[in-house]
Structure 1
Amino acid sequence: MGGEDFRLSVDAAEVYEAKFVPAMFGRWAPHLVRAAGVRPGQSVLDVACGTGVVAREAARLLQGRGRVVGLDVNAGMLTVARRVAPELEWVEADAVALPFPDGSFDVVLCQAGLMFLPDPGRALREMARVAVAGGTVAVQVWDELREQTAWTPFYGVVERHAGPDAVDLIGSYWRLGDLVELNEGLAGAGLRTLDTLTRTDTADFPSVEEFVATEVGGTPLRSRLTDEAYARILEGAEDALGPWRTAEGRLELPIRGHIVTARAEPGPR
């Protein structure tokens, strides 16, 4: 149930930080960090950190007292993370083989990254392993695609002009939206679910063009498209996303997700 390879170049990671983070991920990071109970004095690991929005939010709550580590396998993402927050600790490593001893962190976080990992269950076991006994592991995933009313018509446009493989790539977001399946994965990793928060927020974009630049230009899909195919997707998106366009031309797209907080149980994992 792993996702597609979502490694980005530095240029694409810059697009991710400039567009995806303010439009989507920056709006969820405070909710994830608060749900995990991050507080001064703790050690916090942000797994699959991307350009580091969750790590930065955790550092803000720590108020200079504690440790924050952001980890990602993608060197391009970490280049941007280091540029934005050079004072934090950034580690290039795989989430399924975390380079830390058992019980290294009070809190382990993963925002919108678990679905892109080749083995989510193994990654959860690793998160549980590096958490202290009784520590917190909190993950955020998007709900299933059937709950994402604004993305479905856009994916139809992408499929028409780039094929089903393109939809499989950018559709990786929704692969872990089944809460029953996710909770089974957490339990199998030695994690006891404490709380689940399901919420709908708005993904806010200045225009349809900016949305396509983010959804396609900020992903590996862009490098697989000709300029002509990209232009056709942009043209089709203008019609498909019309219901969510404001009078000023902005897009306000509903997006639904889950934040699940769990406790690392004592014993081998």
Structure 2
Amino acid sequence: MAEPIYAGASEGYDELFARATQLFIPSLLRAAHIESGQTVLDVATGTGAAARAAMDVVGSSGSVIAGDASPTMLEAARRNLKELPVRLEILDGQELPYPDNRFDAVICQLGLMFFNDPARGLSEFYRVLRNGRWAAVSVTTTAERSLFARIGAVIARHAPEKAEKLNRFFSIPTTERLRSLMGGAGFREVEIQTESRGIEFASFDGYFSGIEKGATLSGQEFVQLSPSVQRRVRDEVRDSLGVPDDGRRLVIEMEVLIGSGRRQSG
């Protein structure tokens, strides 16, 4: 299993990122056709936001298993979900430790693009689904339509040795690519939808402060840069957003693709 990309960066993640990504969770759950009483697997759960939402839908007659490759992120999920009966496990989404036909739904929120082999991960999602059931995933698209991944793209230009890791944000940038991956894994009735939300920050400082503390993958890489390169990255990000000063209100448009597919019955 590859080194978890968010290891050590769960502090500040919820405040910085999860509050934005939560806006897309309802559509993800609808795409997975999650209903009361179902058994759901949440892969790459992060700090547990999608697992919490799924638990709200399935209710006491259903169950949710949530897993992540990062022990640090899973510990944050354990804190966030401590009052809920969600089962938390360390797991590799490309090699799920479950038998065939185990779940009524599989979801993966903004995690698939970081898999070394997304096709293998989707094949695993398909394998553990029951016949006739659905999986749904969400992924980022391009740097210009991302919330914080755009910072990673700037870092990659200033530190090319980091480019391979940071460019994983954009490994599934188009509807066609996601549709091809899901179809190749065996899913039928594949549907891809594009969703955008405007995320508001009181200022550029409010937007960038979490990155300077090392939250998210972009933040992890940012804090390892020299102070002079950090200043250049910060200035370039601010200029790209058209923010003339650090104190002005900022709205960033975040776009994701939500893909869903059904395991063929029979």
**Same-fold call, TM cutoff 0.5:** yes
Report if the CA contact (8 A) 1:244-1:252 is conserved: no
* Cα separation, 1, equivalents of 2:161 and 2:209: 19
Amino acid at match of 1:158: I
Structure 1 residue 52 corresponds to structure 2 residue 48: yes
1:48-75: CA deviations, max 9, x gaps? 1111111111111123220111111111
TM-score by length of 1: 0.85
Where does residue 116 of structure 1 map in the other structure?
A: 114
Deviation of 1:167 (Å):
4.8
Match of 1:34 among 30, 36, 39: 30
Q: Which residue of 2 aligns with 1:85?
A: 81
Q: Secondary structure at the match of 1:138?
A: strand
Aligned residues of 2:195 and 2:256 also touching (Cα < 8 A) = yes
The letter for the 2-side match of 1:51 is T
Other-structure match for 1:61: 57
Could you list the per-position Cα deviations for residues 113-172 of structure 1 after superposition, in whole angstroms to 9, with x for gaps in the alignment? 001011101000100001101110111112234x62887985675356x42344543342
What are the equivalent positions in structure 2 for 1:97-136 lying under 5 Å apart? 97-136=95-134
Change (3 A) 1:167 1:46: same
Aligned residues: 259
In the TM superposition, what is the alpha-carbon distance from 1:214 to its structure 2 partner?
A: 3.9
Residue aligning to 1:207: 203
Partner of 2:221: 221
1: distance between equivalents of 2:43 and 2:147? Answer: 28
Deviations 1:9-68 (A, max 9, x none): 34x11221221101x211111211122221110011111111111111111112322011
Structure 1 unmatched runs, 5+: none
Per the alignment, residue 20 of structure 1 pairs with 17
Are residues 244 and 132 of structure 1, via their aligned partners in 2, closer, same or farther at CA, if it must alter by over 3 Å?
A: farther
Q: Among residues 181, 187, 204, which one is paired with 1:191 in the alignment?
A: 187
Shifted more, 230-239 versus 132-141: the winner is 230-239
Which runs of 5 or more residues in structure 2 are unaligned? none
TM-score by length of 2: 0.85
Q: Which residue of 2 aligns with 1:233?
A: 233
Q: Percent identity?
A: 30
